[in-house]
């Protein structure tokens, strides 16, 4: 139990349902849907749609999503891949022909087909109890009538003024007299409200093959993009087989590549060879070993991860015990390994993760993202849709498995998680923060399993992320630990911003009690009933 004389918050307990998101309005919507008779799928989609309006820097209908769904707590969960692909008429030669040597994150060439909307619709159609029109209504109302900008959203928004100013349509939608909205101000997106209303009335095909699709494609092709209407119309989300590993008796489920969930499992496999619980949870040994395991796993992420339909990804090898032992043998407790290039130089990006559990014990672990803050920064004027920049995650190295190719999905950072034991779901969880997410999943699970923290403590605990030679530490880590890490060879820095975010909901298998948590680094909260 936490010390009630110290700042913090308690976990939230419930019996009939719970929701945890990064924004209070979205959590409220999720709980309203549960109370009105909707199930966890309905609730998650309604919350995701709301977040696409009230956290516009992090997510939107112009982005992608992934989900794990455990029905009545039974595992394995279903997994759905809602990531869109590159144009069918694009490859490395296309870039050479057009005089391009890299995929700029703020260019039309970084935009892939947005997968979120059709994925929402598929989940609701296949497993929901309510129609998509009803689930979109709260988002439509907030977009049209306005919502109050929350403090963390305002902070993130302020940092993107220059980016938004480059596109007149983005500036018109997201800036006020050239400035970002301040915390406590009211923001409206009437054009997006009209678009969501059109989707509500005519269905998601309007976005993928109807007038909205035609407007977006016309806009993008006018900027030089290779995307065409067929790329949008042919997109379908895919149900895929989840991957997992066992960590100290617990089964950890992730979506398979093209997402980076396998990276989190590799970190856990490496650390499973140490008695992590014997180390101080906030001490040097823990942070050192976690950093080294992360560096090795991220090196392989860069080396192997890609769209498995277009490239061979050796999942079985990467998750094998023998390979974990091989990686572990490269780690010393007393000094840092030599520099490892892992291509994660782009640090903590925006994403929204949410978790919902309903009265039947169905758990939904759901993540939706534009990748970089406000994605590409390009907003299609007629629809008000800001478009993701997932294509900037492709490589232009023909030797890379993640090299861009026609109709190929890029390596993705966003990952939902499910924790189970004895074939029953114990927790739906996720950690936001772009490239940090795989490291964040491992960090959270160590807090819960090895260090016996309660769900809220596990989310709130100090974080660190080692990437490309720099070990970024949150300021809540002691200076003494920072100095000891440096004595072992780590090049440390205090992180300028909080590292990631996160939500989770635990299910007690003996009495059905739900324990939900949402951390302090974002504006969100957990609610139950």
338-370 pLDDT per residue, tens: 877 665 545 545 689 999 999 999 999 999 999
Q: Is residue 336 part of a domain?
A: no
pLDDT tens figures, 448-490? 999 999 999 999 999 999 877 899 999 999 999 999 999 999 9
- pLDDT on residue 114: 98
CA dist., res. 492 & res. 526, Å (int): 33
Residues 353/430, Cβ–Cβ less than 8 Å = yes
User: Would you say the pTM of this structure is higher than 0.85?
Assistant: yes
Who's near 395: CB < 8 A, 6+ residues apart?
Answer: 402, 403, 404
Q: What is the pLDDT of residue 339?
A: 79
371 domain-assigned = yes
**439 within 8 A of 430, measured Cβ to Cβ:** no
For residue 395, is it within any domain?
no
pLDDT for the residue numbered 124: 98
What is the percent of the chain where pLDDT is above 70?
A: 98
| Mean pLDDT of the residues in the chain | 96
Per-residue pLDDT reduced to its tens digit, 239-252: 999 999 999 999 99
Number of domains in the chain: 1
125 in any annotated domain? yes
4 pLDDT higher than 90: no
What value does the mean pLDDT take over residues 405-433? Answer: 97
pLDDT at 1 over 90: no
**pLDDT score at 420:** 98
* Residue 230 belongs to some domain of the structure: yes
| Residues in a beta bridge with 506 | 427, 515
pLDDT > 90: percent of the chain: 93
pLDDT of residue 342: 65
Query: Tokens for 360?
Result: 């039947």
Examine residue 397 and state whether it is found in any structural domain, yes or no: no
pLDDT at position 343 is 57
Q: What is the pLDDT of residues 75-106, one digit of tens each?
A: 999 999 999 999 999 999 999 898 888 999 99
Would 39 be classed as within a structural domain? Answer: no
- Could you give the angle at which helices 437-449 and 284-304 cross, rounded to 10 degrees? 140
Neighbouring residues of 142: CB distance < 8 A, sequence distance ≥ 6: 25, 50, 53, 54
Strands 470-473 and 492-494: parallel
What are the pLDDT digits (tens) for 102-142?
999 999 999 999 999 999 999 999 999 999 999 999 999 99
Average pLDDT of span 197-226:
98
Question: C-alpha angle 347/351/357, rounded to 5°?
Answer: 135
Closest CA to 290 of 463, 479, 455, 430: 463
pLDDT at 351: 86
Distances (CA, A) of 56 to 50, 284, 339, 351, 356: 10, 37, 37, 10, 21
Distance CA 8, CA 501 (A): 15
Question: 11-25, 76-90, 161-175, 335-349: which has the minimum mean pLDDT?
Answer: 335-349
CA–CA gap between residue 169 and residue 336 (Å, rounded): 48
pLDDT digits (tens, 9 = 90+) for 282-319: 999 999 999 999 999 999 999 999 999 999 999 999 99
- The mean pLDDT of 63-81, rounded to a whole number, is 97
Does residue 528 sit within a domain? Answer: no
Choose between 507 and 6: higher pLDDT: 507
Instruction: Tell me what pLDDT residue 8 has.
Output: 87
Structural domain including 69 reads 55-100+115-239+357-382
pLDDT confidence tier of residue 526, bands split at 50, 70 and 90: very high
Q: Using one digit for the tens of pLDDT, what is the confidence trace for 504-523?
A: 999 999 999 999 999 999 99
* pLDDT tens figures, 369-389: 999 999 999 999 999 999 999
């Amino acid at each position: 139990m936490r010390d009630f004389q110290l700042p913090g918050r308690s976990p939230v307990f419930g019996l009939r349902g719970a929701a945890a998101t990064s924004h209070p309005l979205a959590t409220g919507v999720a709980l309203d849907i549960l109370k009105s008779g909707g199930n966890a799928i309905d609730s998650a989609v309604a919350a995701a749609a709301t977040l696409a309006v009230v956290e516009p820097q992090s997510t939107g209908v112009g982005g992608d999503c992934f989900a794990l769904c455990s029905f009545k707590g039974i595992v394995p969960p279903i997994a759905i891949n809602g990531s869109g692909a590159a144009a069918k008429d694009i490859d490395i030669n296309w870039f050479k022909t057009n005089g391009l040597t890299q995929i700029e994150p703020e260019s039309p060439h970084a935009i892939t087909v947005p997968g979120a909307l059709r994925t929402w619709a598929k989940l609701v159609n296949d497993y929901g109890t309510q129609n998509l029109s009803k689930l979109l209504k709260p988002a439509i109302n907030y977009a049209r009538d306005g919502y109050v900008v929350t403090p963390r959203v305002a902070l993130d928004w302020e940092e993107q003024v220059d980016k938004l100013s480059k596109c007149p349509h983005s500036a018109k939608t997201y800036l006020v007299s050239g400035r970002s909205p301040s915390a406590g101000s009211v923001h409206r997106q009437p054009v997006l409200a009209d678009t969501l209303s059109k989707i509500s009335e005519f269905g998601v095909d309007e976005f993928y093959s109807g007038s909205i699709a035609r407007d977006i494609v016309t806009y993008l092709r006018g900027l030089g993009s290779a995307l065409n209407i067929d790329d949008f119309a042919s997109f379908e989300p895919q149900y895929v087989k989840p991957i997992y590993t066992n960590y100290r008796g617990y089964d950890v489920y992730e979506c398979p590549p093209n997402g980076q969930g396998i990276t989190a499992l590799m970190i856990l496999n490496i650390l499973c060879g140490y008695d992590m619980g014997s180390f101080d949870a906030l001490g040097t040994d823990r942070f050192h070993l976690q950093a080294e395991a992360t560096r090795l796993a991220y090196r392989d992420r860069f080396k192997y991860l890609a769209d498995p339909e277009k490239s061979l990804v050796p999942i079985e090898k990467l998750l094998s015990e023998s390979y974990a032992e091989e990686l572990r043998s490269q780690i010393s407790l007393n000094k840092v390994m030599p520099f490892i290039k892992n291509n994660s130089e782009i640090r903590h990006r925006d994403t929204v993760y949410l978790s919902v559990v309903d009265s039947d014990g169905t758990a939904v672990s759901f993540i939706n993202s534009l990748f970089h803050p406000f994605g590409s920064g390009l907003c299609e004027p007629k629809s008000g849709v800001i478009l993701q920049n997932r294509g900037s995650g492709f490589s232009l190295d023909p030797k890379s498995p993640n090299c861009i190719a026609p109709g190929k999905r890029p390596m993705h950072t966003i990952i939902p998680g499910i924790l189970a034991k004895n074939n029953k779901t114990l927790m739906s969880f996720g950690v936001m923060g772009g490239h940090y997410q795989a490291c964040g999943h491992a960090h959270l699970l160590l807090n819960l399993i090895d260090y016996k923290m309660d769900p809220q403590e596990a989310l709130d605990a100090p974080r660190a992320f080692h990437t490309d030679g720099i070990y970024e530490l949150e300021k809540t880590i002691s200076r003494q630990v920072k100095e000891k890490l440096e004595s072992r060879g780590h090049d440390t820095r205090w992180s300028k911003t909080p590292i990631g975010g996160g939500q989770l909901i635990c299910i007690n298998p003996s009495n059905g009690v739900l324990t939900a948590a949402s951390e302090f680094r974002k504006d969100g909260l957990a609610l139950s009933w």
